[in-house]
Amino acid sequence: MTVSQGVGIKSRKFWVTILGIVAIVIVTLAYNGDDISGIVSSIAGIVGAYVIGQGYADGQAVKGGVNKEH
């Protein structure tokens, strides 16, 4: 299997991860107090669950022979 250059940049998983990191940085800089750890944990959990879920779905699609276009 060959991977063409630039495929990662078109990936929704990549962009969701980048947006999650940006959101965590913004929340960290904008808020003070005890709520920040809960907010950051929630963002990280949602992003992590999405990326893992999509990775699993992509793996099942490849395993099943389904050609998935992004």
C-beta of residue 43 within 8 angstroms of C-beta of residue 24: yes
- Going by C-alpha positions, the residue among 60, 47, 52 that lies closest to residue 68 is 60
pLDDT value, residue 52: 94
The SS3 assignment for 68 reads coil
pLDDT value at 8 more than 80: no
Distance between CA atoms of residues 47 and 58, nearest Å: 16
**pLDDT by residue (tens digit) across 16-62?**
999 999 999 999 888 887 778 888 999 999 999 999 999 999 888 88
* Reported pTM: 0.71
Helix (H) or strand (E) holding 38: helix 35-63
pLDDT value at 4 more than 60: no
pLDDT value, residue 2: 53
